[in-house]
Chains A and B, each alone.
Chain A
């Protein structure tokens, strides 16, 4: 008799313990912290449960591990060579002479560039390039990419502006890699009504001479 009562009481206490302390602001508990939290560095993983070190100046001592920058002087596979023109007025001037390394676009490639344009650029410059996107009214000086000024602007100058930002536009180097930036410029040309040279849909078509991994 008594045993049952104790059992019941224990059951109730356990139930209250597991249910009672839940709040939307609290992540709750996990079964096995050893299996739940990564021992290895994971992006954005909080290192609460297993501190590697108590020294907050060391990487392991920080609560959140952010992905480190790639080692200096390395290039991602398939990525174009780094852009060496400096971010200053002289750089802006000479950037006009840099030619677009993307010779021709496939239909699928142009579509993909359009997708990237719609994600990253259309928010201000509008899906049609008219500079009247959803946020354009709040940001002064959004360029009308279909205007004459931008039809005459060279690909190289556009690339400089996308890479470093210009006036109120920020740098998009962290959102689009170099190849994607050149391709988006091609897409902007197509919005301007310029015939973008097309290449056939074969795998070698998009490989460019500046690609760091192209076999020569």
Chain B
């Protein structure tokens, strides 16, 4: 009996231990992917070289035994004493493996197991590539149709008038009434008057329209020195507008990024492989990689050696580097003052309010006409982030507007617009 109990006890403990071991094993097997993503993925890919070598097939390359553990735990020490580690370091210089002293051997096993079992995701079939073509070209032009219709009606009217006068001539002859030769229609004062009025209206309309449009540049879309697509950067890659145009929150100018801001990413990204096709207005395709090469020329970046060209002439920038002469699109006349920070930081306006859907523009064009009427209209409609005395929310600056606070309290007004705080005063923008 007692022996039996002991056997049962042994069996139970062994089962318990076994489950424990297998459980921890499964935990690590599942964690392999998570561990890989958290620790390794920033520099290593399984199937191709990245900042470090591709990990697939590591077992065949790496010395057997504890090497992999020692390498992960302390690469610097390994480079000093181990020939294979030294070779690896020399190959990938100056990038060096980060040490992960806190990773346990089991965790490294789990990661390597994930690497061994890694299967690349099936390539996604791009939907909608075939359907996106057929929209252009079949645009119905209604105005042309109306024009033709008007022309036909005019011709019919002319014929009818001619018929009418001929008929009258015939009846006159029959009844023996002598009339003087009728005035031809181009000498007829009524006709001339009509033509003059029509010409005056049409010509006047286009003249006024053209004069109003003088100095306005809606849809202005200059050719830029580099085909920089906002659609790729701000749209697909979700880079914040303020990443490049940080001046918009601090100063009058939104700022055109200097080349070093481009190079923050393009040191590493040297070719364009996106799904989005880059197309110019005339339909010709743009080679994104060639455009990045242009950027390298401006920046003085040596793409093959991955470093800036030396500065031999001592002007503080790499030889051959020069600023990119982007063409300014939004040109306000000098007699208008506009400050970006006032609108972006204080007024908390979205860039798109004035610039349109920049993140969908391959080439940027001017979206608004930037006319005074357009400014004033927005100032009349936009409510300021008025300070709320009770909750403390809103822009604290507006706490000094005592009358408005009283009016809101007495329900005389429900919100404060830019106009109420002087946003339509002349000298606000003209001085």
Contacts and interface: CB of A to CB of B under 8 A. Distances in A.
Contacts of A27: 217, 220, 222, 331
B155 to A, nearest CB: 23
Given A14-B207, A28-B216, A149 B98 contact: yes
B223 A25 contact: yes
Contacts of A149: 98-100
B25 interface: no
A142 B68 CA distance: 22
A141 B95 contact: yes
Given A138-B268, A148-B100, A175-B243, A24 B219 contact: yes
B23 interface: no
A171 B265 CA distance: 11
A19 interface: yes
Contacts of B217: 27-28
Contacts of B211: 18
A37 B332 CA distance: 9
Interface residues of B, number: 63
A100 to B, nearest CB: 22
A11 B214 contact: no
Interface residues of A, number: 62
B253 A142 contact: no
A8 B215 contact: no
A51 interface: no
Interface string B324-353: 010010010111000000000000000000
Interface string A38-55: 110011111000000000
Contacts of B261: 170, 174-175
A139 B203 contact: no
B196 A19 contact: no
Given A27-B331, A148-B102, A43 B243 contact: no
Contact of B204 (A11, A25, A42): A11
A64 B325 contact: yes
A8 B50 contact: no
10 contacts: A11-B200, A19-B206, A19-B209, A27-B220, A36-B331, A120-B240, A123-B240, A141-B50, A169-B264, A170-B264
Interface of B: 37-39, 41-43, 50-52, 95, 98-100, 102, 196, 199-200, 203-204, 206-207, 209-211, 213-217, 219-223, 237-240, 242-243, 246, 252-253, 255-256, 258, 260-261, 263-265, 267-269, 281, 323, 325, 328, 331, 333-335, 365
Interchain residue pairs A-B with the least CB separation, the first 3 = A18-B210, A140-B51, A141-B51
